[in-house]
Structure formats: C-alpha cells, structure tokens
Amino acid sequence: MFLNIGYSHEWWHLHQGIDFDESFYHDPLKKLANQDRMDAWMRKRFAPWGLFETPTDTKVVSSPTIAIEPYGHRFIPVMFGTPLLYSADQPPWAQEITLDDDEIMSRKPLAREEFAAHPFVREIVRQYALLKAAGRPCSAQQNLGSVANTMIYLRGPNLFYDFYDKPKVMHHLLELITEMMITAYDYFCDVDGCVTPLGIGNCSVAMFSPAVYREFCFPNDLRLMNHARSRNVTFSIHQDSRIDPYIPAYQPFDYLSGFDIGCDSDIRMFRDAFPDIEINIFLYTGTLHSHSASQLYNLIIDMAEQGRPYSRVGFSVYDIDPGVSEDKIDSICDAYVFLKE
C-alpha cells in the first residue's frame, strides 16, 4: 500500500512564500532550492507517521529526482502553439486555441531532428545539462498528458461538435498528438540515457461519453500502450474521476500496470475488471472539504477493503488547498498507518 501527498501551489505560496512564476520553471537552480525546501518541510510534517522511512512509502509534491518541466504538465499543447500562463500561486496553464481544419489536415508529424531543434525542447535539454553539472539526479522526461487532455486546448469550444460534424479532422488531430507524444517520449529517454515508465493522463475523458472515447481516443491510447510494451516499460492510465461508465472501454488494455481512479468510483467493480493491476485512488479536493476527519478515516478504510489486496491499492491526496484543515490530513495518515499494520 502507498500514500501520495501533495499540497497545492496556492498552499505553498500562501504558507511558505514560494512563487511559481516563470523564473521558478526556467531557472533550474531556483527550482532546485525551492524543491529542497519543500521536501524538507514535507519530511518534518509527516515524520510522525514514518511516511519517509522508505522511498516508496510516499511521494510528495516533488521528488529527489527533479522533473524538468518548464511548461508544467502542458508540454504537448505548447508544442502545438498554445500560449502558456504562469502565476505565482498556480501551475502553468495553457490557453485554448482553435486550430482550423486546413491547418490540422495539412500538418505532418515532426521528424525527430525537427523536434530536437525546437526551442521548447532545447530549453529542457539546457536545464537538464545545468542540473547534471550541479550533481543532482534529474529527468528530462515530460508529463505527456494524453490525446484527450491535449485536444481540449487545440479546438476550443468547437471540440464537442467536432466529434460528430468533423470526425475526419478529429481523427487526424489525435493521430498528430499521438505521434508527438511518442517522439517526445523516445527523445527524452535518450536524453536521460534510460527508458522510463510510460503513462497517459486521461483527466478530460469524463467530459465526453464512453462511446466517443472508444471511437476517437481509444485507438491512440492503445498505440501508446503498445509502444510501452515495445520498449519493455510499464504502462499506466490516470483518470481522476468516476471510472465506472468507462470500464468496458478500458478492458481491452492488456498491458496495464496501474490505474488512477476517482474516489467516487465503484472500486470493487473496477477491481473485478482488473484483478491484477495497482489501483491508485484519488481523493478530490472537494471530498476533503465535504468530509470530516473521522469520515475521511472511514472512507480510506472502506475504499482499501474494496480494492484489496492491500499490496495493490493506494491513495493520492494532491492539491491540498489552504481551506483544508490539517486534522483531516492527519486522519488520512492515521488510516494509512492502520492499514499498513
């Protein structure tokens, strides 16, 4: 069993005075100093539960291996031209654009040489070299999102009509996104000098029906899974929402190592469908606000029972905002330690 904990950018800015402005993401030595500061605070905060006795017990808002993410989790959208907004108390955010039909249909995937020469890619490599020179473990690999997450930024409000009115355009766009993801994954593996697990973030899938997912996103997600298989690395899917209606659409994935699901999912149903994979249950920020400390304790116990065996179930509590009282986080940690024992 595992427990992942992370406070929101807003929390760190308010309580620790950390600014997540553009310099935080483009000055790797500044990010390094702030990350060390956050890690030290987290170790002290959660020491009473022994959460840091082994490296696998918990992940915090950052990790000893520094993720070089000058564009946050929006690397693929910015490679397609979306403007990026930075804020002192929020993560980087991509502004929606609307690529027109002709631009999409005439566009071809970037060759590896073109990808490597792109200024955004060169910035990542620059930061990687600086951190390596400073003697700190780091990774150039980016959060690649998914076709579902990226297309939200590239078609704007037209997106939900396009599935029905312009399916050919949408299929081509999603194929372009998939090509970009594979090129990026392979290139940054080469920069790191090793292969890393491959995962996709399907946060946006809950915005459309399982039928739309199956027709448009599924073939591309399946291709990414098979790419992970070809590289002999694990493959996981993140969908931090109610998973129940999408379970049949996901069942053809036969090379899954892990799946992130929302805490309002039918966890027992999901476990029955995927008996062997690791389940990571996400507690929403809204759940933290709407439940008392004792209710959260009981919720963790109940969800763990549904997801048994304990060795293949865990919890993530991310984006803890300033409005969440610390006794609620303590209660979640208490439940985790009880289950571990």
**Sorting pLDDT into bands at 50, 70 and 90, what band is 328?**
very high
Q: At residue 28, does pLDDT exceed 80?
A: yes
The DSSP code for 215 is: I
Q: Mean pLDDT, to the nearest integer, of 49-55?
A: 67
CATH 3.20.20.210 domain span(s) along the chain = 65-238
**Sorting pLDDT into bands at 50, 70 and 90, what band is 57?**
very low
* Cα dihedral 216, 217, 222, 227 in deg (nearest 10): 110
pTM equals 0.94
C-alpha span between 315 and 299 (Å, rounded): 11
Give the rounded distance of the alpha carbon of 130 from its chain centre.
25
Q: What are phi and psi of 107, to 5 degrees?
A: -80, 140
DSSP 113-136: HHHHHSHHHHHHHHHHHHHHHTT-
Sequence-ordered list of residues with C-beta below 8 angstroms from that of 176, at least 6 positions apart, any chain: 104, 107, 109
Q: What are phi and psi of 230, to 5 degrees?
A: -65, -25
C-alpha span between 86 and 118 (Å, rounded): 21
Q: Are 14 and 8 in contact (CB under 8 A)?
A: no
Query: Is 295 strand, coil or helix?
Result: helix
pLDDT score recorded for residue 55:
46
Topology adopted by domain 65-238: TIM Barrel (3.20.20)
- The counts of H helices and E strands in the chain are 17, 10
Residues 147-187 pLDDT 10s: 999 999 999 888 999 999 999 999 999 999 999 999 999 99
What are 40's two structure tokens?
Answer: 């030290």
Runs of H (alpha helix) within 27-166: 28-45, 75-79, 101-106, 112-117, 119-133, 147-155, 159-165
